[in-house]
Chains A and B, each alone.
Chain A
């Protein structure tokens, strides 16, 4: 189908260049309107955007599986949908077989879609309950005018067998199948138009473990047989490790690390990737890993942190250059700063705060005096202590003081990191968005 497109199979099958997707929160007539009694007119039109995917660039080679992993809300599904142009990208270019999808009009795009298919997470809701399995699988072929009735029927039956179902189930309805079998029907439907590229959005996460393995194995053998290229989106690192050739880790709309599978899992270079890997419960009782290494939660994508988006939770936030301190003192100050920000400790006397966070020894110099000031603000025996009314204000002042003096001064807050590293395993590229590698 694509012989005339001038696409050379040595090139990347899919190339993303600065792909960005923002969602406006302005759907609906009165959305985003806020009442502001202090001004005239007393309304404020709030045009906030959710920065779901922000400036993502990557390549996918023909025949490979690129794993895309991240926590919920990090933008991985949005990226998958944007690639297929089920969502219009806000910015950036998507090249499929060398052609810019943004340049394609309706009919051309529609034809291109027969080369790009998608499998969804929920096997119940992605199949029309009123259609028979045969019809479901034939529908994409009909939409793309492939084959005649007889040919489509034969192909549907062949595909049913290929995905591990009985071709005699051609006339059954989806409800007669279990979750794993329904996901196989989804596979057959996606493959019916002979695509080159399939976006798999959490295809096995709704399935039981024993069924998960069956479906993963089928997906792998189909990839081999039909020469498919997968973008495999999942939150489960074990599944990603099993199926991927290369892995991209996403956090809050950015790709933070991208490397070959073995390299990424054995030699992770981004603190977020490390935290993710440390958090997975390992099915081995003799493995006593650290857990819960990350504090807090993913910030809102409406107003993501500047520079490195992970910096607000990063256990290795880089010390600001303005002050002179040891690694240990900075670690203590960082912990204190976050504890104040989250108000995660009860008000206590200054001496106890000092003992608890700084081993009784505050940092010296200019940094020390800022820390002193903050302790003074939140301590129960501080100058303003005992007065409950402005307690919240004092905590906020202390938080602002600490964040502005320290966190905002770090290189992590100023520049968006992007570094290419040497791989230790294999010879692929290793991209890590962390200033520790500057």
Chain B
């Protein structure tokens, strides 16, 4: 880890100021992306994973706002705050202007692939035309050159008969084909980093397999780094190198993909793994996680997972753990935010168990999902699959 990572996110905080109160959608997360790796950002809907990735791109819209932290990309500051002369936080001088981010970073350096390919393509322009325009604007090619490049890109991502299909409209493409077009668009300017926000969630399994294969091939060819936002642990196991598990705006575990599945350190990750039905073997009894994720507007005290945690003890209601190194997984530190590990020294072992008293665990216990509409105003995925 000698060289500077491609992207470093430190203590990022993104909040939404709604009428009901402040929603702390992303609450102090730190992670990094190195060159040529796929980093997973995993969690259920409302965990804040989409908001986190949009914050990196500077695409958080009102009433949302990044209120703290630092985002560094290739040594340049995409976002940073410092204390001004009057004691208020203000944006740092070395921070790139939104003009610079728009022209230099977005598309050219960091590209995004969204979940719903129909919403990302304009239905009244041809697919080829949109791709061509994007290449023309970002790479300064002439119209003819951009057209040739666009057709090449379409072939590259496996669109059959690209010359013919160049002039077709998005609705004439199937969901998988549209997602391929978006990948072509993301790759068109050969960015160093692609943020993929649930890119295969709306697709059928066989198509999902094709897309994952394609991403593997392209990554090998171009050496692009990815941030892969998903709720699907199967996809994570297939494609990611390192994984960050999010719960209620925080990262609760960071590890290499192998350590995450085989040496799980956080009870939430563990519970998640035990609650999914397996395609490769028959599970007779699913160990469901109790309750639902509380709201980010009034998170539980202490560890945010404690009302649902099977390992929770008295101390978990008080101590709020940040991620710490709890194991050394082959030179790659394995971090988790759970006080049951010795690294925290919070007196977990002496603390009485919470068995049976979980009901009075904070204002947002499982029974009161009153205003879930405000839980995630940025429009995170519904945790769902495609609808027929």
Contacts and interface: CB of A to CB of B under 8 A. Distances in A.
Asked if chains A and B come from one complex, the reply is: yes
Interface of A: 71-73, 77, 121-122, 166, 175-181, 202, 205-214, 216-217, 235-239, 241-243, 261-262, 265, 275-287, 289, 291-294, 296-297, 342-344, 346, 392
A350 to B, nearest CB: 20
B1 interface: no
A236 B232 CA distance: 12
A194 to B, nearest CB: 26
Contact of B280 (A214, A243, A282, A292): A282
Contact of A178 (B258, B283, B372): B372
B286 A211 contact: no
Nearest to B155: A346
Given A177-B369, A292-B214, 15 more contacts: A175-B373, A179-B383, A181-B292, A205-B385, A209-B44, A209-B275, A209-B276, A210-B289, A213-B289, A216-B288, A235-B204, A238-B277, A241-B277, A283-B261, A342-B160
Contacts of A121: 387-388
20 contacts: A71-B207, A178-B369, A202-B385, A208-B44, A209-B272, A210-B275, A210-B293, A212-B275, A214-B288, A214-B290, A262-B282, A265-B279, A265-B282, A277-B279, A281-B208, A283-B276, A291-B238, A297-B177, A342-B161, A344-B161
A21 B369 CA distance: 41
Nearest to B283: A242
Contacts, number: 187
A283 B161 contact: no
A285 B279 contact: no
A281 B237 contact: yes
Nearest to B371: A176
Contacts of A180: 292
Contact of B204 (A71, A238, A243, A285): A71
B126 interface: no
B318 to A, nearest CB: 25
Contacts of B214: 292
Contacts of A236: 277, 385
B45 A283 contact: no
B370 A176 contact: yes
A224 to B, nearest CB: 13
B235 interface: yes
Contacts of A243: 277
Nearest to A346: B155
Lowest 10 CB-CB distances: which A-B pairs, in order? A281-B234, A242-B277, A213-B288, A291-B209, A292-B213, A208-B383, A279-B209, A342-B160, A213-B275, A343-B161
B350 interface: no
Given A177-B369, A213-B286, A72 B382 contact: no
A284 B261 contact: yes
For A77, A280, A281, A294, which residue has the most chain B Cβ atoms within 10 angstroms? A281
Contacts of A181: 292, 369
B206 interface: yes
B257 interface: yes
A221 to B, nearest CB: 11
B386 interface: yes
Contacts of B285: 217
Nearest to B165: A343
B277 A344 contact: no
A425 to B, nearest CB: 11
A280 B258 contact: no
Interface in B235-269: 235-239, 257-258, 260-262
Contact of B160 (A166, A275, A344): A344
Contacts of B388: 72-73, 77, 121, 202
Contacts of A346: 155
B139 interface: no
Contact of A282 (B155, B161, B176, B234): B234
